[in-house]
Amino acid sequence: MRLSRYFLPVLKETPSEAQIVSHRYMLRAGMIKQASAGIYSWLPLGFKVLRKIEDIVHQEQARAGHIAIQMPTLQSADLWRESGRYDDYGQEMLRMQDRHGRDMLFTPTAEELVTDIFRSHVGSYKDLPLTLYQIQWKFRDEIRPRFGVMRGREFLMKDGYNFDLTKEDALHAYNRHLVSYLRTYERMGLQAIPMRADSGPIGGDDTHEFLVLAETGESEVFYDSQITDLKFGDREIDFDSHAQCQAVLEEFTSRYARTDETHDEALFNQIPEDRRRTARGIEVGQIFYFGTKYSEPMGATVQDSDGNKVPVHMGSHGIGVSRLLGAIIEASHDDKGIIWPEGVTPFHAGIVNLKQGDAEADAACEALYASLTALGLEPLYDDRNERAGGKFATMDLIGLPWRITVGPRGLKNGVVELTSRRTGESEELPPEQAIEKIAAIYSKVLPGA
Ligand code: ATP
Ligand code: MG
């Protein structure tokens, strides 16, 4: 993309309504525009990152064997009356009537709808296990929408639902989701710690939340510092193996890590004092096992191998896709702007032309642009007639991990400058070598590369 043809409405002033850094940078970098309280339009740069996050979620869901569907945002209240949640959900649910006076609602989550799909089409244990998921907009009429996309009213969520014959199988689905989520967040450059949590209106016994540590997080968290040394990394795992998933779950949940809702001071105090940590965290996902809570009232049954009709065991599993943008920025920025992890960056590298209109500099930039594009990478070329300082400030603000700076002086010596956004370190090298280096970095990040 050439910046002169892009739509990147960068703000010079820091918007006064934004209280936390991710919100400020998302507004300043022209990623989002508030439409009304807690509801946002996604401008090109923000939308690009949102899609990158979605792509990672889809790829990791596929790896775990989960199947994508898409359910509507508007639902009839009837199904919610069957489960009993129409009355229980409270004011966070946005309710409306259609022209025939039928009660409708904007989906805050979709256990009822997916259970209805299941009961209409699945009748035998032979069709299990089954996990269906979607990435879809949700609406919750939050009493205090704030912090930009962190606590919106309309927000994008990945919600997945497992259907299993036995409790044991459903617990495997729970463990499998935990493992899959660890991989998902790490690919986004995040450490998200699974913490024992409270189940809230979804109901159920087993539940973990995934929290990203950040000063601006809304949850107070308590943990054993050893937990932050754990990395999932690039280990191979067989997602069908109960034993392998169970082992990973045990590894990542055996140390103390809880939110204030489930915090147990006496247990916490058993950890050696120098390892006890109290901090803040951003909830970026949650997994639940809730057994037959929905399948029983809604009649979602299958025939088992003896021909008996039994209600299926279920769980639901959510990732806060739009909230993740805020969480990533909270975890990765400096005083100049965002620092995107390579896995989610909107463009792979920026090209800054120090002397637009200089024939040699223009040609060198075009050649870099063509080489990166040919490698399947997306460069953002700042080809505007602007001062170098302004170009650098924009690149720093929008946070591309790598910048190639091209100017007549360097070109005389056959070099361009390659700069890491994270470390600020620069090196001069021939253009082909800059390309090779960037290609090598992304070959470790991009799927299939
Ligand atoms: P919270 O406790 O933050 O209100 P929740 O526990 O009600 O969230 P879940 O039902 O577990 O949320 O939804 C799954 C994920 O969706 C959450 O882990 C979170 O990342 C995201 N999410 C929930 N509410 C919002 C919101 N208002 N804005 C943005 N993301 C949200
Ligand atoms: Mg939650």
Cα of 285 vs centre of ligand 2, distance in Å, is: 6
Ligand 1 atom showing the smallest separation from residue 142 Cα: 27
How much is the mean pLDDT over the chain? 96
Cα of 421 vs centre of ligand 2, distance in Å, is: 33
Q: Is the pLDDT of residue 208 over 90?
A: yes
pLDDT in tens, 364-399: 999 999 999 999 999 999 999 999 999 999 999 999
* Axis-axis angle for helices 359-374, 431-443 (nearest 10): 30
Ligand 1 site, CB within 6 A: 109, 140, 142, 151-152, 155, 157, 200, 283-286, 318, 320, 322-323
| HSE (side-chain half, CA atoms, 13 Å) at 179 | 27
pLDDT in tens, 160-187: 999 999 999 999 999 999 999 999 999 9
Q: Closest-lying ligand to the alpha carbon of 140?
A: 1
Determine if the peptide bond prior to 129 is cis (ω within 30°). yes
Q: Is the pLDDT of residue 420 over 90?
A: yes
Residue 404's nearest CA partner among 445, 432, 446 is 432
Mean pLDDT along residues 6-34: 95
Cα of 69 vs centre of ligand 1, distance in Å, is: 20
Q: Is the pLDDT of residue 31 over 90?
A: yes
Contact at 8 Å (CB) between 1 and 369?
no
Q: What DSSP string runs through 4-22?
A: GGS-----SSPPTT--SHH
pLDDT in tens, 317-347: 999 999 999 999 999 999 999 999 999 999 9
Strand 103-106 to 95-97 pairing: antiparallel
Ligand 1 atom showing the smallest separation from residue 209 Cα: 18
Return the percentage of the chain with pLDDT > 70, whole number: 98
Contact at 8 Å (CB) between 341 and 189?
yes
Q: Is the pLDDT of residue 204 over 80?
A: no
Q: Closest-lying ligand to the alpha carbon of 260?
A: 1
CB neighbours (10 Å) of residue 90? 9
Compute CA 180 distance to the chain's CA centroid, rounded to the nearest angstrom: 13
Which residue has the CA at smallest separation from atom 2 of ligand 1? 283
Cα of 352 vs centre of ligand 1, distance in Å, is: 39
pLDDT of residue 146: 95
pLDDT of residue 137: 98
User: Using the 8-state DSSP alphabet, how is residue 128 labeled?
Assistant: -
Q: Is the pLDDT of residue 15 over 90?
A: no
Mutate to test the pocket of ligand 1, among 57, 283, 290 (most ligand atoms within 8 A of CB): 283
pLDDT of residue 16: 87
Ligand 1 atom showing the smallest separation from residue 197 Cα: 6
pLDDT of residue 449: 39
Q: Closest-lying ligand to the alpha carbon of 107?
A: 1
pLDDT of residue 389: 97
pLDDT in tens, 41-73: 999 999 999 999 999 999 999 999 999 999 999
Helices (H), 275-333: 295-298, 321-331
Which residue has the CA at smallest separation from atom 23 of ligand 1? 320
Q: Closest-lying ligand to the alpha carbon of 322?
A: 1
Ligand 1 atom showing the smallest separation from residue 318 Cα: 14
Q: No. of H helices and E strands in the chain?
A: 14, 23
Which residue has the CA at smallest separation from atom 18 of ligand 1? 285
Question: One-letter amino acid identity for 349?
Answer: A
Cα of 55 vs centre of ligand 2, distance in Å, is: 22
Mutate to test the pocket of ligand 1, among 133, 206, 286 (most ligand atoms within 8 A of CB): 286
pLDDT in tens, 240-286: 999 999 999 999 999 999 999 999 999 999 999 999 999 999 999 99
pLDDT in tens, 440-449: 999 988 764 3
Domains of the chain with bracketed CATH: 3-337 (3.30.930.10), 347-442 (3.40.50.800)
Q: How far apart are CA 377 and CA 448, in angstroms?
A: 13
Cα of 246 vs centre of ligand 1, distance in Å, is: 25
Q: Closest-lying ligand to the alpha carbon of 218?
A: 1
